Structure 1
Amino acid sequence: MKYSSKDVVAYSKAKEYIDTAIIPLIPFSFEDEEMSSLSFQKDVIQIYVDQIERELKGRVFVIPEYYYLKQDKIAEEKERLQAFIDHIAKQPFKYIFLVTSDNKWRKVTKDMDIELIWIPGIKDGHLEQAETQQVIKSQVQEIQTLIMDSWNE
């Protein structure tokens, strides 16, 4: 389920079964040299999250994207993210996953009570190419396994 009018109605009726939140972490910048690359990475993350949500529908809820300035220090951004996560955890979501291609979050989130799914960035290109689609499909299956394994712990 996603944060959309149709899915929110369904979520309200079945929230006791939906125990997993997925939060896409999306950096942005208006610097010319970064804007294109960052917007492409956002599109890639969205493809991953959409496929995960589609496969695990009824158990996961995709929270709206968490945006932050690429130029900000991640350690300082951590406090704002933690407040966001604390609010989401009260809904209640037992499992919270952050999805990002920004490797700076790997160190910062180690002491947080969440799981970080780091997706290596794909170079700018065509997301419709067969090879790219196959890589994404394979990685989505691994991410789904990671999420489902957390349910069994």
Structure 2
Amino acid sequence: MKWIPQEVETYLNAKEYVDTAVIPVYSLSFGEEMKQSAAAFEFISLLTGYLEKQFTGRILLFPPFTYLKSDNMENVIDELIKWENVVLQSEFKHLLYITSELDWRMYENRVGGSLIWLPSLPLGNMSEPQKVEVIESQVKQLLSIFTQKWSING
């Protein structure tokens, strides 16, 4: 389910079945890194959109957690932990962050949710069918990660 009124209403009526919160994590960069930042955004946006379709009724796809690449990471982590605390108090059993930001791998032990890092694949020059094929391939790989997380924690 997506973070839109109709689907949030469905979530509110079926909380016992929707046990997983997915939060995309992006950084914004400007100047020379702007294009790379936009490519990572496109990749993670498409990927989480496809994940949401695969697991409709099991996950709620939250709006992205977005920060400036130039921000102090300690402050960024503190802000993400605020999100995390609120989400986990809202009866979600599982919290998964999805990002292509390599820096997060150094901090994954600081957050309570599971961090899934994927290298961003450049989709910019691909046709729509090619993008779909690449994203679907990535989602298939993530299916096993999701089912593993669910089997470990119920």
Counterpart secondary structure, 1:110: helix
Look up the match of 1:71.
70
TM-superposed CA distance for 1:133, in Å, is: 3.7
The CA deviation string for residues 93-124 of structure 1, in whole angstroms up to 9 with x for no partner, is 11000010101011112242211111102236
The CA deviation string for residues 73-107 of structure 1, in whole angstroms up to 9 with x for no partner, is 32331111111100011111110000101010111
TM-superposed CA distance for 1:3, in Å, is: 0.6
Look up the match of 1:21.
21
Which TM-score applies when normalising by structure 1?
0.91
Q: Are the equivalent residues in 2 in contact too, given 1:18–1:59 (CA < 8 A)?
A: yes
* Percent of matched pairs sharing the same residue: 29
Structure 1 unaligned runs (5+)? none
Q: Are the equivalent residues in 2 in contact too, given 1:37–1:124 (CA < 8 A)?
A: no
Q: Are the equivalent residues in 1 in contact too, given 2:95–2:114 (CA < 8 A)?
A: yes
The CA deviation string for residues 109-150 of structure 1, in whole angstroms up to 9 with x for no partner, is 224221111110223623436555433222211112111111
The worse-fitting range, judged by mean Cα deviation, of 58-67 and 112-121 is 112-121
Amino acid at match of 2:12: S
Q: Are the equivalent residues in 2 in contact too, given 1:101–1:120 (CA < 8 A)?
A: yes
Look up the match of 1:107.
106
Amino acid at match of 2:20: T
Amino acid at match of 1:20: T
Q: Are the equivalent residues in 2 in contact too, given 1:26–1:67 (CA < 8 A)?
A: yes
Counterpart secondary structure, 1:18: coil
- Alpha-carbon distance between aligned partners in 1 of 2:103 and 2:3, rounded to the nearest angstrom: 26
Amino acid at match of 1:5: P
Look up the match of 1:35.
34
- Alpha-carbon distance between aligned partners in 1 of 2:125 and 2:133, rounded to the nearest angstrom: 13
Look up the match of 2:125.
126
Which TM-score applies when normalising by structure 2?
0.91
Structure 2 unaligned runs (5+)? none
Amino acid at match of 1:48: L
Look up the match of 1:52.
51
Q: Are the equivalent residues in 2 in contact too, given 1:127–1:133 (CA < 8 A)?
A: no
- Alpha-carbon distance between aligned partners in 1 of 2:109 and 2:82, rounded to the nearest angstrom: 16
Cα RMSD between the aligned structures?
1.6
